Structure 1
């Protein structure tokens, strides 16, 4: 019995520090696992925020592209309008001359119409060859 007690003591002296180390390692493991769970929860939360922010970024990017395309289309339209206005400047000069000519013709218009109608009514009875000769 004494021999067994001495052997048990030797084994106990050898095993007890290992048990204490095991319990300390288990405690450290539990703390590390708690930290791991907290870190995984934070990572999941950050991933959710990343997905939301990525969606917002894509929406903002598409809105930016639409605005850029609208700005380019507007710039193109403005350029075309400027070209049209530039082209119509010369027409303005021509139209002003035409208006002046029409104002000059306005005073003689009634007499011109009267002469033309008289001429057409007089020559209307003659043959085509005779009218061409006239």
Structure 2
């Protein structure tokens, strides 16, 4: 009986200790789970901080770019009136002159604007300001040469408010106009054509382009 009692007491003690060990293991497992959760949260926070820092750096760079672009736009806006004066002057008055005189003419206008303290671009390029490269390429396919004088003449023909008079001994301009306007119901005539008046009426009423050939001085 004594041995049985001691055995039972030992078994009770063992069971108690196993329960304590299990409790400790559970507490350890819970502590490790919490530790892992904290580490995961820390890593997420670190990643968010890194992303936020990268975003801030990127926005700082964008801010500098936006500031520079804003300053550039402001300067361009201030020069707009002077630039328009030169461009309108070119379209209105440069048609009869050769390239050398046009450059001189532009410089005279530029100096006059500067003397009047009117903001203007010192290096304004007539061609770049009034036409794009795609249109220049299209004009070339239609027969217009790509030298500066020819391109500027093309700009005057297509942009000026008044009708253009082409001095065209090689018929380059005439052929270019015909190719350019061939899908727009171009009317080709001469001053001596017996239907000239009818052609004028059709052109005005219907909005068709008209090319009058062989105009004498």
Shorter-chain TM-score bucket reads: 0.5 to 0.7
| Residue ranges of structure 1 left out of the alignment (5+ in a row) | 1-18, 122-134
Q: What is the CA deviation profile of residues 103-123 of structure 1, one whole-angstrom value per residue up to 9, with x for unaligned ones? A: 2123211222542348599xx
**Greater RCO structure (CA 8 Å; 6+ sep):** 2
Residue matched to 2:28: 47
Is 1:56–2:34 an aligned residue pair?
no
Is 1:80–2:61 an aligned residue pair?
yes
Q: Which structure has more helix as a fraction of its residues?
A: 1
Residue matched to 2:76: 95
TM-score norm. by structure 2 comes to: 0.39
Cα distance in structure 2, aligned partners of 1:95 and 1:118:
27
Moved over 4 A (4+): 22-27, 118-121
Alignment of 1:118-129 (within 5 A): 119=101
| Residue ranges of structure 2 left out of the alignment (5+ in a row) | 103-148, 150-217
RMSD: 2.9
Which structure is larger by alpha-carbon Rg, 1 or 2? 1
Is 1:115–2:64 an aligned residue pair?
no
Q: What is the CA deviation profile of residues 18-51 of structure 1, one whole-angstrom value per residue up to 9, with x for unaligned ones? A: x85x766554433222111111112222222233
